[in-house]
A and B are shown apart, each in its own frame.
Chain A
Amino acid sequence: MLLVVEQFLNGLQFGLLLFLLAAGLTLVFGIMDLVNLAHGSLYMMGAYFAATFAAWTGSFLLGALLALGATLVLGIVLEMSALRHLYGRDHLDHVLATFGLILFFNEAVRLIWGPAGLALPLPAWLTVPVPILPGIHYPAYRLAIIVVALLVALLLYLGVMRTRIGMLIRAGASNREMIGALGINIKLLYTLVFGLGAALAGLAGMMQAPILTVQIGMGENILILAFVIIVIGGIGSIRGAFLAAIFVGMIDTLGRAFLPNLLRQVLSGAAASTAAPALSSMLIYLLMAIVLVVRPEGLFPANRR
């Protein structure tokens, strides 16, 4: 029982983290029609910035805040210097160009921070276990991730659905020329959206950093997961990304936690312990393949044109 609740919460936490990454990706994808493989690099940069700034300032929160600003700026610079010129080009061009950016960022990190990973230690008040149910404790930090991510998701929803900027973003997604003709500075809007996506990716990276180590290439595996999520959820749909992210987070975590035992019922011990991790990693891709075969546009297609 205890294990089930704990793993369930872990799945929720991982799913919400994935949502932060996928939300930026799906915004950029849905609005600018840009396939950004370098989104995972922004996630990595967020983690590296946070580790560095936290070490400089000596404060976890201050470091995280500075890092958030830094990834926002990095995203804006990246958009203005390179990615802006890719809008309206073929998706293959996006893949190639942002693949190049991944190479660049990985190497730049190796040059600046060295090949060894960094650690981002937690402050004491975040390491204590918190009682959530009678007799069940859960790490405060993971709980904090859940709260922060839910808060961000809510803000994002309100921002996109209830504010003027959000309205412009949605309008820009459905008809770019029209909104430009109405006198809206679409270039600036796109830059802002990209910066927002970068900041969300950075936030995901820095929140994951204390749980895993900060290392080169950390954004690549998780980027593919984020792509899986936005494809399952339907490209451009934040609601779809949210539901798919929770779903994928749960399946991945619960699969890793319980599949080995299930497999041991049918396979010999050694075979089960090697097959289980592979099988649980496969589950998500299997899910995506099934979704795409049954509903080629994803579960919640954003705009039916």
Chain B
Amino acid sequence: MKTFSVSKAVTALMLAGLVLLPLYSYLSGNIFIMTLFTRIVILALAAASLNLIMGFGGMMSFGHAAYLGIGGYAVGMLAQEGVGSGFIQFPVALAASAIYALVIGALSLRTRGVYFIMITLAFAQMAYYVASGLARYGGDDGLTVYKRSDFSGLINLSNRTQFYYLCLACLFAVLFLIWRIVNSRFGLVVQGLRSNEQRMQAIGFPAKRYQLVCFVISGTMCGLAGALLANNTDFVSPAVMYWTRSGDLMVMVILGGMGTLFGPVMGAVVYLLLEEFLSQITEYWALIMGPLLLLIVLFGRGGIMGLLGRLNRG
């Protein structure tokens, strides 16, 4: 083990904070902070899944919010049709996301660079319009989820603390999985493809097949975030799939530090807290947020994680 490092310390502090948050909320009586952080944890999960393909795999998907919608609609539609069990809803949400990722991944991976950004965006917009056209499930107005997923006594999603810890457990599980994937042979191949696809192909790796599997894993993880998000807001609408939401996820990943394990979590926490904080100071919070993003791009290479790393060395 290396000696003390700032980024490790900050990461540990953040994770500890996330674990102990319900205690703080209980002691201070601040219930709102639980609602806020449940959302943050869920979106951190989505950002982490995007980071798997964007940061480690070099596949810049601009349509990742589609999975939030697919996972959410799987829960919402099943609930409306009278299937309230989470043991059915969640697997369906994951499977639907995986199938969607398989289809659009197989098509999108034929392109590269900017074209890849644009084709993933196009598919997400298609998903958005499909959801808008679902008259039975609310169309444009969205779908209210009257009853949260029922895990038959195992865990109660309507209990704020239990739901928070479920989300947090999902986040940690996904991070653990990403860590294992990135350090596996499979993960090394995918990262090799990011740095030099031609060379990897020349060695004899079937590039597209590796990338596609990675794309599907990432989409499935984000589908989980979608299912949780629908439970959190008790509502799902086409708006969760709109392209600006995909942009939000990208911002979280880049802000935190692309290609680092905990960067996206950091990015989600900072981005959403900043949004919350600025919107309390002024109604015109985006007036500050926008230029801030620009400055981060111009001067903060590697996001927050990169910044902390430099602090350590400097």
**Contacting residue for A35 out of B112, B114, B243, B297, CB 8 A:** B114
A31 to B82, CA, bound (A): 55
The residues of B that contact A258 with a CB separation of less than 8 Å are: none
Q: A103-B290, A106-B286, A220-B244 are in contact. Are A85 and B123 (CB under 8 A)?
A: no
Closest to B122 in A: A285
Interface residues in A236-293 by Cβ distance below 8 A to B read 270-271, 274-275, 277-279, 281-282, 285-286, 288-289, 292-293
- A87-95, A151-159, A173-181: which lies at the interface: A87-95
Contact assessment for B135 and A104 in the assembled complex, using a CB-CB cutoff below 8 Å: no
A56 on interface, CB distance cutoff 8 Å: no
Closest to B303 in A: A96
A270 to B134, CA, bound (A): 11
Closest to B248 in A: A99
**Contacting residue for B287 out of A107, A281, A288, CB 8 A:** A107
Contact assessment for A108 and B114 in the assembled complex, using a CB-CB cutoff below 8 Å: no
A231 to B116, CA, bound (A): 10
Contact assessment for A286 and B126 in the assembled complex, using a CB-CB cutoff below 8 Å: yes
The residues of A that contact B129 with a CB separation of less than 8 Å are: 278-279, 281-282, 285
A67 on interface, CB distance cutoff 8 Å: no
A208 to B219, CA, bound (A): 38
B254 on interface, CB distance cutoff 8 Å: yes
B193 on interface, CB distance cutoff 8 Å: no
A111 to B250, CA, bound (A): 27
Contact assessment for A224 and B293 in the assembled complex, using a CB-CB cutoff below 8 Å: no
Contact assessment for B284 and A103 in the assembled complex, using a CB-CB cutoff below 8 Å: no
The residues of B that contact A103 with a CB separation of less than 8 Å are: 286, 289-290, 293
The residues of B that contact A296 with a CB separation of less than 8 Å are: 110-112, 115
Interface residues in B56-99 by Cβ distance below 8 A to A read 60, 62
B42 on interface, CB distance cutoff 8 Å: no
**Contacting residue for B115 out of A89, A107, A286, A292, CB 8 A:** A292
Closest to B292 in A: A100
- Interface SS, B side: helix
Contact assessment for B284 and A110 in the assembled complex, using a CB-CB cutoff below 8 Å: yes
A195 to B49, CA, bound (A): 38
A77 to B293, CA, bound (A): 18
A99 to B271, CA, bound (A): 14
A225 to B138, CA, bound (A): 25
**Contacting residue for A100 out of B110, B113, B244, B289, CB 8 A:** B289
A171 on interface, CB distance cutoff 8 Å: no
Task: Give B103 Cβ to nearest chain A Cβ, in Å.
Answer: 10
A211 on interface, CB distance cutoff 8 Å: no
Interface residues in A86-135 by Cβ distance below 8 A to B read 86, 89, 91-93, 95-97, 99-108, 110-111
Interface residues in B106-142 by Cβ distance below 8 A to A read 107-108, 110-115, 117-119, 121-123, 125-126, 129-130, 132-133, 135, 139
A231 to B293, CA, bound (A): 26
The residues of B that contact A54 with a CB separation of less than 8 Å are: none
Contact assessment for B110 and A285 in the assembled complex, using a CB-CB cutoff below 8 Å: no
A99 to B62, CA, bound (A): 12
A228 on interface, CB distance cutoff 8 Å: yes
Q: A100-B291, A282-B130, A289-B126 are in contact. Are A95 and B284 (CB under 8 A)?
A: no
A224 to B125, CA, bound (A): 9
The residues of B that contact A86 with a CB separation of less than 8 Å are: 297-298
The residues of A that contact B113 with a CB separation of less than 8 Å are: 91
Contact assessment for B250 and A228 in the assembled complex, using a CB-CB cutoff below 8 Å: no
Closest to B126 in A: A285
**Contacting residue for B110 out of A96, A102, A107, A292, CB 8 A:** A292
A210 to B122, CA, bound (A): 28
Contact assessment for B293 and A293 in the assembled complex, using a CB-CB cutoff below 8 Å: no
The residues of B that contact A89 with a CB separation of less than 8 Å are: 297
Best-buried of B126, B244, B292 by chain A (most CB within 10 Å): B126
A274 to B135, CA, bound (A): 6
Q: A92-B254, A296-B110 are in contact. Are A100 and B294 (CB under 8 A)?
A: yes
List 9 A-B pairs, minimum CB-CB distance, nearest first.
Answer: A278-B133, A100-B293, A104-B290, A103-B290, A274-B135, A107-B286, A103-B286, A97-B297, A107-B287
A-B contact pairs, 25 of them (CB 8 A): A92-B60, A92-B258, A93-B254, A96-B251, A96-B254, A96-B255, A99-B250, A100-B289, A100-B297, A104-B291, A104-B294, A107-B284, A107-B286, A110-B284, A220-B244, A224-B243, A227-B118, A227-B121, A231-B114, A278-B133, A285-B122, A288-B119, A288-B122, A289-B107, A289-B123
Beyond the given pairs A227-B118, A281-B132, A282-B126, 15 more chain A to chain B contacts, judged by CB atoms under 8 angstroms and listed by A's residue number, are A82-B294, A89-B297, A91-B117, A92-B254, A96-B251, A97-B297, A103-B286, A103-B289, A103-B293, A104-B294, A107-B285, A235-B114, A278-B129, A289-B123, A296-B115
